[in-house]
Amino acid sequence: MTNHWRDIKNADVIFIAGANPAEAHPVGFQWFMRAKLDPTKGPGKGGGAKIIHVDPRFSRTSAVADMYVRIRTGTDVAMFGGLMNYVLQNNKFHDEYVRNYTNATFIVNDKYGFSDGLFNGYDPKMRSYGATAWNYELGPDGFAHRDMSMQHPRSVFQLMKAHYARYTPEMVETITGIPREDFLKIAQIVGEMGRPDKVMTIVYAVGLTQHTTGSQLIRSGACLQLLLGNMGRPGGGMNAERGHANIQGNTDHAISWEILPGYLRSRNPVKRASTTTSRLVRRRNSIQIRGISSAPTTRSFWSVCSNRGTATLRPKIMTLRSATFQSRTGTRLGLRSGIKPSKARWKASSSRG
Residues 179 and 317 in one domain: no
Instruction: Tell me how many domains the chain contains.
Output: 2
The pLDDT value given to residue 179: 96
Residue 187 lies in a domain: yes
Measured CA distances, 38 to 47, 48, 54, 61, 68 (Å): 7, 5, 22, 18, 20
Other beta carbons within 10 Å of 323: 17
Measured distance CA(325)–CA(346) in Å, rounded: 10
Residue 34 lies in a domain: yes
The pLDDT value given to residue 12: 96
Residue 132 lies in a domain: no
Residues 177 and 308 in one domain: no
The pLDDT value given to residue 250: 73
Beta strands in the chain (DSSP E): 13-17, 50-54, 67-69, 114-115, 118-119, 122-123, 128-129, 200-204, 238-240, 259-260, 264-265, 276-283, 286-293, 302-305, 310-314, 323-326, 332-335
Strand partners for 17: 54, 204
200: containing domain: 1-93+166-241
Residues 237 and 316 in one domain: no
Residues 212 and 279 in one domain: no
Measured CA distances, 20 to 63, 133, 169, 213, 218 (Å): 11, 40, 26, 20, 16
Residues 177 and 236 in one domain: yes
DSSP labels, 121-189: TEETTTTEE-GGGGPBPB-TTSPBPB-TTS-STTBHHHHHHHHHTT--HHHHHHHH---HHHHHHHHHH
Collapse the DSSP code of 282 into the 3-class scheme (helix H, G, I; strand E, B; otherwise coil) and give the result: strand
Measured distance CA(291)–CA(184) in Å, rounded: 52
The pLDDT value given to residue 260: 82
Residues 305 and 230 in one domain: no
The pLDDT value given to residue 236: 95
Reference 264, options 272, 276, 252, 274; nearest CA is 252
The pLDDT value given to residue 214: 85
The pLDDT value given to residue 243: 61
Measured distance CA(271)–CA(37) in Å, rounded: 53
Measured distance CA(62)–CA(72) in Å, rounded: 16
The pLDDT value given to residue 305: 37
Residues 200 and 327 in one domain: no
Q: For the chain, which ranges sit under pLDDT 50? A: 272-353
Q: Tell me how many degrees the CA angle 198-204-76 measures, rounded to the nearest 5.
A: 95
The pLDDT value given to residue 265: 79
Q: Tell me how many degrees the CA angle 56-62-66 measures, rounded to the nearest 5.
A: 125
The pLDDT value given to residue 278: 40
Reference 297, options 320, 280, 313, 286; nearest CA is 313
Strand partners for 201: 14
Residues 181 and 313 in one domain: no
